[in-house]
Structure 1
Amino acid sequence: MADNVYFYCGNDEYLVGTNARKKVDQICPAEEQSLSLEVIDGSASKVDEAIAAIDQCVAAFRTVGLFGGKKVVWLRDAAFLKNQVIMKNADVKRLLAELSNDLKAGLSPDQFLVVSAPGIYKVSGFYKAIKDIVEFEEFDIPERDYEARPVALKRAKSLFKREGYSIDSDAADLFIDRAGFETRQIMNEVEKLVLYKGEDKNIQLQDVQLMTAASHEAVAWDFTDAIAERKLGEAIRIFRQLLFQKQTAIGLIIQIENLFQNLLRFREYMEIGWLRMNGNRIQWANDEEIDDYFAAMPDDPRKMHWFRASKFANQAAPYTVARLAASKRLVVDTHEKMISEGSIPHELMLETLLAKLCAPPRRRR
C-alpha cells in the first residue's frame, strides 16, 4: 500500500471534507501550502470537466515541486468519480488508468495525493486498480432510516457531551427528527442550542422545539404526519411549502405511498397480535413465527427506531385495515394518473388526493 495516497469518500460531505482537510494540513502545514500544495477542483458534472481535472492531476505528479521540494496534490470534491456515465467515458477511463498506473508505480517520498469525493463507482476499473494501494476511508450515512437514525443520535449526544451538556431522551429524539442525519447540520444545530442554553447545561424538549430548525427531511415527515393524522389544513400548508422548496408532486406522492404502506402493515401487525401498544411505546410479541416472517423481509420493522415505529403504530391505530388499504389504493391510482394523464396539473391532483385522504370516515346509517 502506498503511504502517501489518501482517499476519502462518502455521502457524509462534512466528515469527508473535514478528514481530507486534516490530512492535507498534517502533511503540508499552512506555512508550506502556498508553495507545496496544489488543489484541483473535482466538482465536475460533465465529461470534459472531469477530463480536465484528471489531466491536471496526472500532470501535477509528472512535474517537480517548486525548488524540487514537497508536492501535495488535493483532488477535492471529485463528484465525477461516482457518476457512472462519466466513469464509462473512454477518455475518462484512459486518463484514470494513467493515474492508477502512476500510483501503482509509486510516488516519490516527497509526493502526496489526497482525494475527497462524495462517492466512487465501485464497478469502475479505476476503483479496482487503486482500492488496495491507497489509504481508503468511507464516511456514509446509511440509506435506511432505522440504520441512519441511531448513528446520528449517537453523534449528536457525543457532540453535546463534548461541549459539557446533557440532553433528555425525548429531546434528543426530537432533535434528530428536526436536524436530520447529516453531520454538518447536526453540528450547526448543536452549536445553536449550546449558545442558547449558556450556563444551563441540560437541554430539554422545549429547548429543541424553540431553537432547532427543521431540515427538508423533517418537513417531509411533518407532511406525512399531518396526512396520517387527517390534518388537512396543515397538510396542504406543508405541501405548498415543499413545492416552494423545489420538491415535486411526483416525489411527494411516493412519500405518501410509503406512509400508507407502513400504516397498513403496522395496523395488520396489531390486528394479528404481533404488536401492541404500551402507553406511547410499542411492544413486539416474542414468537418464532414472527422471526421467520421478518427474516425474509428486506426491512425488519422491529429494527426501526422505537420513536418512528411508535409513531406509525399510534397513527395506524384509529384506522381499520380496510380503510388503510382503500387509502393506499387511492394513492397508487392517483400516482398512475399523474404519469399517464397530462391534462391536469400534478399539484392539483395531489391537493385533491389530500382532501380525500384527510376526510373523516363516513358514518354508517
Structure 2
Amino acid sequence: MSGKQQVNLLFGSDTFSLENAATDLIKKISPELDSSFGLERIDGLVSSASDAANAIDSTREAVLTRELLGGNKLVWLKNASFLDRSRLGLTKSVKDRLTYLTDLIKKGLPSGHFLLVTSAKIDKVAAFYRACKAHGHVEEFEQPQYFNQQTAAAESYLLSAARDAGLSISRDTLVSFYERAGTDRSVLRQEMAKLRDYMGDRKTITNEDIRIMVSPTRDYSIFELLEAVGQRNLKKALPLLKQMLFNGENPVGIIVMTESHFRQFALLKELDGKRMLER
C-alpha cells in the first residue's frame, strides 16, 4: 500500500494475517498512536441489530470528533459482524446506519483522521464496500484452501517464529508440531510462546517438548485415520483415533467409515484381479 489512505478495509477468514496487517497499518499511519491516545477501538462483534447500529453510530461519531490535543486520530471498527449478507447485515436499521457511514466515506474524512474496518466477511456488492474500494484501501486475507497450502504456511510460520525466539527445530519435529496443534497460526503463535518459556536455556525443540507442552487442539479427520491404517502405521493411527474420540467423534461412525473404506478397496482389488484374468 502506497501512502496513507484515510479509509482502510481489511477482511477475510485468515484472522492471523488480518490482525498482523491491522497492527502494521496502525504503525504506518502514526507510529506514536497507542491505546490511550489517538486510537479509538470500537467493538463490531455484535449479535443484535441494535448493537450493530450503535457500533456504526459510534464509529461515525468518533471519526467526526477531533482530538482534544490535536494530531492524527485513528478509529478502528474491529471485527464487524454485520457487513455481509447475513440476517443481521440485511436488517433495515443496520443498512440505514451503514448508508450514513458510506456517505461520510464518499464525502471524505476530516484531515488527519483515519478509519480502519476489519471483518471476517463482507458483501462485495454493497455500497459500503464499493465506497471503501473507491475512496480508500481494501485488502482481503483468506485462509489457504487446500491442506498442502495450509501446512506449507504453518511450516513457514513455525520456522520464522522459532528463529525469532532463538530456537531451532528439525523438519520432523516441525511436522509433529502442526500435526498436534493444527495449522491456525494464531494457535501456533500461542503454543510457540509456551515452548519458548518452557525451554529455558535449551535451544533445540524436540518431539518430547512438543508432546509435553503443545496442546492437541487440531481436529483430525477420518480420512487421516484411514490413511494411517492403510499404511499399517499403528504408531500414527492410535494417537489419531484417541484424539478423534476425545474431540467427540462418534465411535460407531468411525467403525462404519473404516469398514466401508476397506470394503471398497477389497472390491477394487477383486475387479482388478478379474481384469487380469481376462487378459
Q: Tell me which interval the TM-score lies in, with the shorter structure as reference length.
A: 0.7 to 0.9
Q: For residue 117 of structure 1, what is the aligned residue in structure 2?
A: 119
Distance 1:253 1:122 in 2: 39
Q: Secondary structure at the match of 1:8?
A: strand
2:164 alignment partner in structure 1: 162
Cα displacement (A) at 1:156: 0.9
SS of residue in 2 equivalent to 1:85: coil
- Cα–Cα, structure 1 residues 158 and 92, in superposed 2: closer, same or farther, change >3 Å? same
Q: Can you give the 5+ residue segments of structure 1 that lack an aligned partner in the other structure?
A: 265-315, 326-365
Q: Give the whole-Å Cα distance in 1 for the aligned partners of 2:4 and 2:85.
A: 26
> What is the SS of the residue equivalent to 1:131?
helix
Q: Displacement, 1:127?
A: 1.5
2:25 is aligned to 23
State the match for 1:152 in structure 2: 154
Deviates more, 1:12-21 or 1:142-151: 12-21
Taking the aligned partners of 1:152 and 1:79, their CA distance within structure 2 comes to 27
Residues of 2 paired with 1:235 and 1:175: CA distance?
14
Asked whether the equivalents of residues 179 and 213 of structure 1 are also in contact (C-alpha less than 8 Å), the reply is yes
**Matches of 1:34 and 1:78 in 2, distance apart?**
22
- Contact map agreement 1:87 1:124 (CA 8 A) in 2: no
Secondary structure at the counterpart of residue 7 of structure 1: strand
**Correspondence for 1:229:** 229
Cα displacement (A) at 1:209: 2.6
The SS at the match of 2:83 is helix
Moved more, 118-127 or 106-115: 118-127
What is the one-letter code of the residue matched to 1:144?
Y
Q: 1:321 corresponds to which letter in structure 2? A: F
- For residues 304-337 of structure 1, the C-alpha deviation after alignment (integer angstroms, 9 at most, x for no partner) is xxxxxxxxxxxx7xx7613699xxxxxxxxxxxx
SS of 1:79's partner is coil
Please give the root-mean-square deviation of Cα atoms over the aligned residues, in Å: 3.7
TM, length-normalised to structure 1? 0.59
> Would the aligned equivalents of 1:227 and 1:235 in 2 still touch at CA under 8 Å?
no
Alignment map for 1:94-105 (pairs within 5 Å): 94-105=96-107
In 2 relative to 1, CA 321–49 (structure 1 residues): closer, same or farther, beyond 3 Å? same
CA–CA separation in structure 1 for the residues paired with 2:162 and 2:244 = 33
C-alpha change, 1:177 and 1:221, in structure 2 (3 Å) is farther
**C-alpha deviation, 1:84, in angstroms:** 2.3
The structural deviation recorded for 1:139 is 3.0
Matched, 1:321 2:251: no
Q: How many residues are aligned here? A: 259
Q: Which residue of 1 is the match for residue 56 of structure 2?
A: 54
Larger CA deviation: 81-90 vs 103-112: 81-90
Change (3 A) 1:134 1:166: same
Letter in 2 for 1:229: V
Determine which structure has the larger helix proportion and give its number. 1
Question: 8 Å contact 1:47–1:89 — kept in the other structure?
Answer: yes
Distance 1:324 1:30, change over 3 A: farther
Deviations 1:186-216, CA, capped at 9 Å, x for gaps: 1112222233333332223333233221114
Amino acid at match of 2:135: I
Task: Report the residue type matching 1:168 in the other structure.
Answer: S
Match status 1:41 vs 2:62: no
Shift of 1:54: 1.1
Cα distance in 2, alignment partners of residues 324 and 175 from structure 1: 36
Q: In structure 2, do the counterparts of structure 1 residues 192 and 238 end up closer, same or farther at CA, with 3 Å as the change threshold?
A: closer
Q: In 1, Cα distance between the equivalents of 2:153 and 2:66? A: 43
Provide the rounded CA distance (Å) in 1 between the counterparts of 2:194 and 2:113: 41
Query: Are 1:141 and 1:182, in contact at CA under 8 Å, matched by a contact in 2?
Result: no
* TM-score normalised by the chain length of structure 2: 0.75
Tell me the residue number matched to 2:276.
none
Residues 221 and 208 (structure 1), Cα distance of their counterparts in 2 relative to 1, 3 Å cut: farther
Residue pair 2:8, 2:132 contacting (<8 A) in 1 also: no
Give 1:7's aligned residue.
Answer: 9
1:58 alignment partner AA: R
SS state of the match for residue 207, structure 1?
helix
Percent same amino acid at aligned positions?
A: 28
The one-letter amino acid of 2:145's match is E
1:154 deviation in Å? 0.8
Secondary structure, aligned partner of 1:154: helix
Which residue pairs with 1:241 in the alignment?
Answer: 246
- State the alpha-carbon separation in 2 of the partners of residues 235 and 157 from structure 1: 25
Structure 2: runs of 5 or more not aligned:
270-279
Corresponding residue SS for 1:200: coil
Judged with a 3 Å threshold, the aligned counterparts in structure 2 of structure 1 residues 133 and 239 are, in CA distance, closer, same or farther, namely same
- Distance, in Å, in 2 between the alignment partners of 1:105 and 1:3 is 14
Pair 1:111–1:234, CA change in 2 (3 A): closer
Structure 2 residue matching 1:229: 3-state secondary structure: helix
